[in-house]
Amino acid sequence: FWKVAGGLLILLICCINMYFVVAYVMSLHNLGLYIGAAVLSVIYLAFVAYLTWLCLIALGASFLACGHTVSVTRTLPPEQSPPHPPK
């Protein structure tokens, strides 16, 4: 419950921030600022999506992890030794 509630709260805060940015830029009546705000908004939303993706993977949604991941705690059993290159 708390993970979902926290995610929804973060989404709400991001939406409120985006609303205020758009409202401020629209009040300036400058095309250059509109374009700059649009580009920065796309970059910001892409970054938030990336962080959301990583958080979902960290919370256990391993099907979202692309490629192979290796645990840093993985060790070989004592009876197996790593292969040695030929001399």
Does 6 map to a domain? yes
Residue 52 resides in a domain: yes
Question: Which has more confidence, 12 or 60?
Answer: 12
Q: Which domain holds residue 54?
A: 1-72
pTM: 0.53
Position 39 in a domain: yes
Tell whether 36 is covered by a domain: yes
Q: If we measure between CA atoms, which residue out of 36, 14, 16, 15 comes closest to residue 25?
A: 36
pLDDT in tens, 24-39: 888 888 888 888 888 9
Return mean pLDDT, the chain: 79
CB 59 within 8 A of CB 3: yes
- What total number of domains does the chain contain? 1
DSSP label of 70:
-
- Is residue 47's pLDDT more than 90? yes
